[in-house]
Amino acid sequence: MRTGDFDAAWLPPAAFRAVGRRRTLLRAGDGPLVDTVHGEVADACGRFGGRVVRDGGEDAELVLEVTGGPAGAGLGDEGFALARRGGTTTVTASGGRGLLYGLFHVVRLGEDAFRGERPREEHRPALAVRMLDHWDNVAVHPVMGQVERGYAGGSLFWADGRARGDLGRVRAYGRLLAACGVNAVAVNNVNVHETEAHLLTDRIGEVAAIADALRPYGIRTHLSVTFAAPMVLGSLPTADPLDAAVRAWWRGATARVYEAIGDFGGYVVKADSEGRPGPFAYGRSHADGANALAAALEPYGGTVHWRTFVYDHHQDWRDRSTDRARAAYDHFTPLDGEFAPNAVLQVKHGPMDFQVREPVSPLIGAMPRTRLAVEVQATQEYTGQQRHVCWLGPMWSEVLRFRPEGGSGPRVGELARGGLVAVSNAGDDPFWTGHPLAQANLYTFGRLAWDPRADPGAVLDEWIRLTFTPERSADPGRLTDGLHAVLDGSWATYEKYTAPLGVGFMVQPGHHYGPSVDGYEYSPWGTYHFADRDGVGVDRSTATGTGHAGQYAGPWAEVYGSPKTCPDELLLFFHHVPYGHVLHSGRTVIQHIYDTRFEGVAEVEEARRVWAGLADLVDPARHARVAERYEEQLRSAQEWRDQVNSYFLRKSGVPDARGRTIH
């Protein structure tokens, strides 16, 4: 497979031009990852006229070196150092992983890597685990299809009820992920159905084949498993995590997994959540459940990622004292310190469910004796389903920079000792993510997982330079400016025409696409806005509401606890207020709702116009796909505007101060 076979994303062949033109020396290293580095450079040199030598003594413009001793000290397994002196650019790493990441860093720099002098600079990932969770089903699910919440075609891994025979595209996927810093992938849905359960045992060979395809790019394979596996697969009468036979079953099954996949990463578990089996059935805690699997994985260096998405999904909508937002904190904080060292709690970044606007989960920072991984959603379940442009880099950066303790306390990116995880947005679509511009989310996730303090705008620049390299020569400034114009503010635009001021949801039930203001209002899912004739919003204050605001550390509990201090963008998440309540912006709540719906539609119209003007600079197939998606985004945005505005006009009876048509 040549690198150009799957180049409808970042890393098209032209991205390697600067490397491929040089004389390169690959020195003092061996192993499969070093072989991958050599293959990448050799392929580039074959295209652009350069030359690569292994362990030679000749002069070189680029030296890629695996070394121990002082040169590699402190870099760790994945770090690398870059320097340029006397016309030679040198990448130094202590192992193959670091050398691979160093090569991709040089590719990102392009010709800049070979200009002037560059003092030694060291690069190492801030987070050891940078992981994608695929919600892919082996067998097509009758409701959720091949990929649950998938908006980019079928699965990369599975087709016709089995692992794909040709895994070339999986290898190419591993290459894309390594280039942005991702180092782990869970290959199946956290909602483990009957067929998928067998991947743990009699079908582990299929997982091993996928792991073989990903391994050359340093990607460790993980597997989602059902907590009830000892019953489903082992014919035991119980899955009680404290039962000796159950623990022995997990030990045996795990040993066989590692016989097939020596570098297996571990398990991902969704338990006692939305109907999935878990330890509650046996009167056990989540720590009991997680630790049983952790004990089986521990001898091999594996990890169990135990999701904290646990709440009552049979809630009585009449009961305002039950609050889904409280649930993860209430379930897990009493267990702090009880989880095994190789058990990681995987916490959604917000307390609800990947909405376009939520506060950071109070669970992050509240369990100092437990390893937490922060989970975000690259697949755009609630942010336009890859039919709308919605670049999430600014959202994720805002989350990762948030200080749960306030003041100068640690940031979320520093508290995520178990890593950063995203639900993948990739599939077998020719453009990988369905919407070509949604690739920016996948790339940005990897780069922010490597460095949570990175500037998302600079990361977006990287993605643009890599992805559009063959096309930029005609007018690079106009293309770059146009891409920034349609992407930079796209998250804010999407928020403007959908659910206002942090209240969330208001989507069509089930598939979650398009507006339905009361779609979940009288449902058991706990996703309410409580709009009535007098006001809107959920009272989560400690004084009169559910008390969720009080789950935050002192400074934030105070900020969120009063409508006078609560940020506008989260007001309706934390408070039920009258339509005439005046925001910090100076607008009333009702006028903000009207204005932002109209603003959002206007911004989509402008983005569509800008994209149309780039047709002469972008590959025709890519341009046509995005243009088609913009037509759908505009239609949907107009529908959101009209339904939300009409709903609140009828509820409140307050007309639009600007006299615009509201139906």
Tell me the whole-structure pTM to 2 decimals: 0.97
Q: Note if 455 is an active site residue.
A: no
| Highest CATH level, class, for 130-313+321-343+404-429 | alpha beta
DSSP state of 655: P
β-bridge mates for residue 159, sequence order: 162
| The one catalytic residue among 353, 429, 569, 603 | 353
User: Which residues are CB-neighbours of 346 under 8 A, at least 6 positions away?
Assistant: 268, 305, 306, 307, 308, 372, 373, 375, 418, 421
β-bridge mates for residue 133, sequence order: 186, 423
Separation CA 365–CA 556 (nearest Å): 12
pLDDT at 472: 59
| The one catalytic residue among 381, 471, 495, 603 | 381
Domain locations along the chain: 13-123, 130-313+321-343+404-429, 469-538+576-662
Separation CA 579–CA 226 (nearest Å): 46
For residue 224, what are its two tokens?
């989602």
If the chain, 663 residues long, is cut into consecutive pieces of 10 residues, what is the mean pLDDT of each piece? 62 96 89 96 97 86 87 86 97 96 98 96 98 97 96 97 96 98 98 97 98 98 98 97 98 98 98 97 98 98 98 95 97 98 98 98 98 98 98 98 97 98 97 98 98 98 91 79 98 98 97 98 97 98 98 96 98 98 98 98 98 96 97 98 98 98 96
Alpha helices, DSSP H only, in 468-511? Answer: 476-487, 490-497
pLDDT at 28: 76
| The one catalytic residue among 5, 55, 112, 274 | 274
β-pair type (136-141, 62-66)? unpaired
Tell me which residue of 243, 241, 337, 246 sits closest to 291, measured CA to CA. 241
pLDDT at 2: 43
Beta strands in 293-412 (DSSP E): 303-307, 343-348, 371-377
* 8 A C-beta contact, residue 560 and residue 360: no
* 8 A C-beta contact, residue 17 and residue 25: no
pLDDT at 73: 72
Please state which CATH number belongs to domain 469-538+576-662: 3.90.1330.10
Q: Note if 381 is an active site residue.
A: yes
pLDDT at 475: 82
Strand, helix or coil for residue 599? helix
CATH architecture of 13-123: 2-Layer Sandwich (3.30)
Tell me which residue of 24, 6, 337, 57 sits closest to 174, measured CA to CA. 6
DSSP state of 83: E
